[in-house]
């Protein structure tokens, strides 16, 4: 059995740990051969692979990014894309199964290929933690830890200068990173895409904190859209896929807080730092278990399925379960966090 791994979509701490888990389990337990497709689906479409002997994964669990490279290439695009061409390409390479490691877009592509009869299984990945089928994805814990550390540091300037500090974190559709990092850093307001909060309310929370002699900390997810933001969005521009540009919302929230409260306010965009560097131990363990679980899916010929964390168990679910809408922050979780806002 020869298994081809690919990592696709945004890089994420823990991708290398998945690769290591799959390679070690595949070789040690079943004597399988592992290879990696380079730069996501591009490597599949173009037949561009590297060998993954046991020595290639030594010490890899602690290394961020992906040794295979990644891209946002669509496997259905171009003259060599699509199920029939891909079937021919992998046959020529002697690859018997594909393990697609990626987020919503990657898994949607993997599902279409599996539905067309290709031997594809999946591993869910996103730092945003917004996939339905799994309680957690690796990369999320690392992003929350990095954001928490950054906010702890922002407090120094806030306290010394009596300023309000705003931290903009990732999360274009959901606010899990903002919610968890904000709660853990003791934020006085957390703004997420799922909840509409008027800037007057944010200003009130900030003023209450300032009045009792503390420096306010506001966490805003990049996808938060306050009332009346459309015009600003228009001015700042959009990414090609229609989402707000990183930095648009944090700047806006900062300006509005300053305007409404008169308190000096500064914005920090954490950006891709949240995806950089070594994964936390939680993410290393989860990613390793996902990599091993994916090899077991291949062993069982469970095409069209992916691994998922349910409680503390790694289980297998159909791709369609992961693609059944985004896992948003429930209102009850936001209300719980809100108890800690303002005064
Ligand atoms: O989906 C993961 C994520 O990090 C989002 O939180 C963020 O909006 C996006 O990717 C950034 O993507 P890119 O690296 O392509 O700018």
Give tens-digit pLDDT for 180-214.
999 999 999 999 999 999 999 999 999 999 999 99
Answer yes or no: are the C-beta atoms of 267 and 254 closer than 8 Å. Answer: yes
Confidence at residue 91, expressed as pLDDT on a 0 to 100 scale: 97
Pocket test for ligand 1, best of 10, 39, 125, 174 (most atoms within 8 A of CB): 10
Quick one: angle between helices 281-299 and 140-161, nearest 10?
Answer: 160
ipTM: 0.94
Q: Output the pTM of the full model.
A: 0.94
Confidence at residue 265, expressed as pLDDT on a 0 to 100 scale: 98
Residue 238 alpha carbon to ligand 1 centre in Å: 14
Residue 330 alpha carbon to ligand 1 centre in Å: 22
Distance between CA 161 and CA 264 in Å, rounded? 9
Residue 246 alpha carbon to ligand 1 centre in Å: 9
Answer yes or no: are the C-beta atoms of 121 and 305 closer than 8 Å. Answer: yes
Angle at the Cα of 263 from the Cα atoms of 258 and 264, rounded to 5 degrees: 80
Catalytic member of 11, 39, 128, 130: 128
Chain mean pLDDT for the chain: 94
Answer yes or no: are the C-beta atoms of 257 and 263 closer than 8 Å. Answer: yes
Write down the CATH number for the domain with range 2-138+279-323.
Answer: 3.40.50.450
- DSSP symbol at 326: B
Minimum-distance ligand 1 atom for the alpha carbon of 103: 1
Return phi, psi of residue 34, to 5°. -115, 140
Distance between CA 149 and CA 35 in Å, rounded? 36
Minimum-distance ligand 1 atom for the alpha carbon of 222: 8
The torsion of the CA quartet 80, 84, 87, 90, rounded to 10 degrees, works out to -10
Confidence at residue 232, expressed as pLDDT on a 0 to 100 scale: 52
Confidence of residue 80 (pLDDT cuts 50, 70, 90): very high
Is 128 noted as a catalytic residue in this protein? yes
Q: Atom 14 of ligand 1 has which residue's CA nearest to it? A: 10
Minimum-distance ligand 1 atom for the alpha carbon of 246: 8
Instruction: Please choose, from the candidates 269, 286, 276, the residue with its C-alpha nearest in 3D space to the C-alpha of residue 178.
Output: 269
Query: Ligand 1 pocket, 127 CB below 6 A?
Result: yes
Distance between CA 300 and CA 8 in Å, rounded? 24
Map tokens 């059995």 to a residue. Answer: 1
Distance between CA 216 and CA 156 in Å, rounded? 12
Query: Ligand 1 pocket, 128 CB below 6 A?
Result: yes
Confidence at residue 200, expressed as pLDDT on a 0 to 100 scale: 95
Distance between CA 196 and CA 301 in Å, rounded? 45
Answer yes or no: are the C-beta atoms of 107 and 306 closer than 8 Å. Answer: yes
Per-domain boundaries in the chain:
2-138+279-323, 141-275
Q: Atom 15 of ligand 1 has which residue's CA nearest to it? A: 10
Instruction: For domain 141-275, give the fold.
Output: Rossmann fold (3.40.50)
pLDDT tens profile 308-320: 999 999 999 999 9
Poorest-pLDDT segment among 208-217, 224-233, 320-329: 224-233
CA-based max dimension of the chain: 70
pLDDT tens profile 85-128: 999 999 999 999 999 999 999 999 999 999 999 999 999 999 99
pLDDT tens profile 30-39: 999 999 999 9
Mean pLDDT over 161-177 rounds to 96
Mean pLDDT over 229-252 rounds to 62
Paired tokens of 282: 């939680």
Q: Same CATH topology for 2-138+279-323 and 141-275?
A: yes
pLDDT tens profile 248-298: 789 989 999 999 999 999 999 999 999 999 999 999 999 999 999 999 999
């Amino acid at each position: 059995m020869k298994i081809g791994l690919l990592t696709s979509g945004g890089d994420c701490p823990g991708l290398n740990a998945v690769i290591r888990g799959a390679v070690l389990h595949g070789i040690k337990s079943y004597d399988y051969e592992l290879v990696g497709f380079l730069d996501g689906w591009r490597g599949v479409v173009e037949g561009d692979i590297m060998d993954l002997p046991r020595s290639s994964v030594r010490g890899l669990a602690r290394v961020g990014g992906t040794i295979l490279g990644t891209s946002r290439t669509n496997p259905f695009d171009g003259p060599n894309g699509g199920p029939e061409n891909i079937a021919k390409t992998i046959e020529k390479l002697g690859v018997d199964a594909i393990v697609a490691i990626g987020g919503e877009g990657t898994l949607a592509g993997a599902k279409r290929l599996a539905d067309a009869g290709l031997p594809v299984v999946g591993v869910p990945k996103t730092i945003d933690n917004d996939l339905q089928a799994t309680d957690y994805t690796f990369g999320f814990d690392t992003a929350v830890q990095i954001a928490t550390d950054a906010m702890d540091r922002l407090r120094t300037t806030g306290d010394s200068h009596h300023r309000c500090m705003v931290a903009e974190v990732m999360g274009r559709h959901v606010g899990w990173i903002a919610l968890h990092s904000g709660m853990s850093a003791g934020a006085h307001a957390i703004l997420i895409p799922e909840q509409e909060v008027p800037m007057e309310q944010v200003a009130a929370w900030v003023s209450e904190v300032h009045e009792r002699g503390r420096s306010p900390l506001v966490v805003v997810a990049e996808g938060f859209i306050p009332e009346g933001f459309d015009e600003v969005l228009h001015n700042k521009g959009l990414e090609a896929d229609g989402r707000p540009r990183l930095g648009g919302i944090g700047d806006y929230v900062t300006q509005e807080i300053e305007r409404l409260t008169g308190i000096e306010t500064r914005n920090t965009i954490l950006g891709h730092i949240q995806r950089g560097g070594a994964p936390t131990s939680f993410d290393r363990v989860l990613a390793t278990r996902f990599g091993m679980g994916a090899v077991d899916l291949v062993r069982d010929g469970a095409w069209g399925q992916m691994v998922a964390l349910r409680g503390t168990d790694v289980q297998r679910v159909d791709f369609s379960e992961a693609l059944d809408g985004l896992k948003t922050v429930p209102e009850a979780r936001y209300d719980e966090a809100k108890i800690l806002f303002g005064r």
